[in-house]
């Protein structure tokens, strides 16, 4: 069941299921919480309380038009969400640019993060921005035409199209354009030393066929920075849907090893 939680300058759509240590799942761009639809049940069965929000400005989560939905803001909102839910600490699992928000969380308040798992994420200033230039430059008066183009480009499977459905129509297209324009790789360009010093246990998972973020030029150096194992997966960029079984198994084993306190 979806609940809607009012935060400072934002309303977050959240699915909260299961019992046990909290695990926060963050999607990236252009995605919604449905990215995790096939992973969540496995983590619930393994004994975790799984928190699956739409990032603000994505899916059903909203913010006023004059509020930026960049990843520094997402990190702040996610900490506020944890506060509202009564969790002082949580493990964080993040995909794509959602991992920028997760890394900022680790860099700023590491004592609140039990563990960090990054899937096909960002590293320093490498956010694969070339792939979204066309969305950033899209004419807002033609926003209703954006979803069909996006669906043809990446929504080849039914699960991917379902994940993208929130961006259909004029309102959805405008939401996507706004989110793209608020992405700023400078927000993680200089946090490497803070991440290295955080001491937060980490895991890096990557699709071997990821055509947006290279496993060798992004995944490998990120794993080294985090002191994490790098696990290669048989999928493309959207690994939680491409190879959900392998993702769920790797996450379940990683999360089970984290200290409870």
pLDDT above 90 as % of the chain: 95
Model confidence pLDDT, tens digit, residues 194-211: 999 999 999 999 999 999
pLDDT at 127 exceeding the cut of 70: yes
Q: Model confidence over 215-240: pLDDT tens digits?
A: 999 999 999 999 999 999 999 999 99
pTM (2 d.p.): 0.97
DSSP helix, strand, coil percent of the chain (3-state; round to 5)? 50, 20, 30
The encoded tokens of residue 185 equal 């790789």
| Domain extent listing, the chain | 2-127+187-255
Provide the pLDDT for residue 1.
Answer: 82
Q: Mean pLDDT for the chain? A: 97
**27 in Cβ contact with 54 (< 8 Å):** yes
Asked if residue 261 has pLDDT above 70, the reply is no
Q: Position of tokens 């071997």? A: 208
Residue 109, helix vs strand vs coil: coil
- Report CA dihedral (220, 163, 176, 26) to the nearest 10 degrees: -50
pLDDT surpasses 90 at 259: no
Q: Is the dihedral of CA 14, 20, 23, 25 positive or negative?
A: negative
Give me the pLDDT at residue 157, please. 78
Q: Tell me the three state secondary structure of residue 125.
A: coil
Structure tokens at 8: 């400072």
Predicted local distance difference test score (pLDDT) of residue 153? 86
Phi-psi category of residue 227: left, alpha or beta, with phi > 0 → left and psi -120 to 50 → alpha: left
- Of 76, 111, 78, give the one whose Cα is nearest residue 94: 78
Mean pLDDT of 174-192: 98
Cβ-proximal residues to 128 (8 Å cutoff; 6+ apart), any chain? 122, 212, 213, 218
CA distances, 134 to each of 24, 46, 131, 139, 163 (Å): 30, 41, 7, 10, 20
Give the pair of three-digit tokens for residue 143.
Answer: 């926003």
Mean of pLDDT values over 15-36:
98
- Is the pLDDT score of 105 beyond 90? yes
Specify the CATH number of the domain 2-127+187-255: 3.40.50.1820
């Amino acid at each position: 069941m979806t609940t809607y939680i009012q935060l400072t300058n934002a309303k977050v759509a959240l699915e909260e299921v299961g019992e046990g240590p909290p695990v926060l799942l963050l999607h990236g761009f252009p995605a919604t919480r449905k990215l995790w639809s096939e992973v969540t049940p496995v983590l619930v069965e393994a004994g975790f309380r799984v928190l699956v929000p739409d990032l603000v400005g994505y899916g059903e989560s909203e913010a006023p038009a004059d509020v930026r939905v960049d990843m520094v803001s997402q990190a702040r909102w996610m900490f506020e969400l944890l506060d509202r839910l009564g969790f002082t600490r949580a493990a964080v699992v993040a995909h794509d640019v959602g991992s920028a928000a997760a890394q900022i969380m680790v860099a700023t308040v590491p004592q609140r993060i039990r563990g960090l798992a990054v899937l096909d994420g960002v590293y320093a200033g490498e956010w694969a921005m070339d792939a979204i230039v066309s969305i950033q430059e899209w004419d807002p008066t033609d926003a209703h035409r954006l979803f069909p183009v996006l669906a043809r480009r990446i929504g080849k499977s039914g699960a991917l199209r379902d994940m993208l459905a929130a961006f259909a129509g004029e309102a959805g297209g405008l939401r996507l354009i706004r989110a793209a324009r608020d992405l700023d790789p400078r927000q993680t360009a200089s946090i490497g030393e803070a991440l290295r010093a955080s001491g937060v246990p980490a895991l890096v998972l990557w699709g071997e066929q990821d055509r947006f973020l290279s496993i060798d030029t992004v995944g490998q150096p990120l794993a080294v920075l985090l002191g994490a194992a790098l696990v290669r997966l048989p999928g493309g960029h959207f690994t939680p849907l491409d190879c959900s079984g392998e993702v769920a198994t790797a996450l379940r084993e990683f999360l089970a090893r984290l200290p409870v306190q």
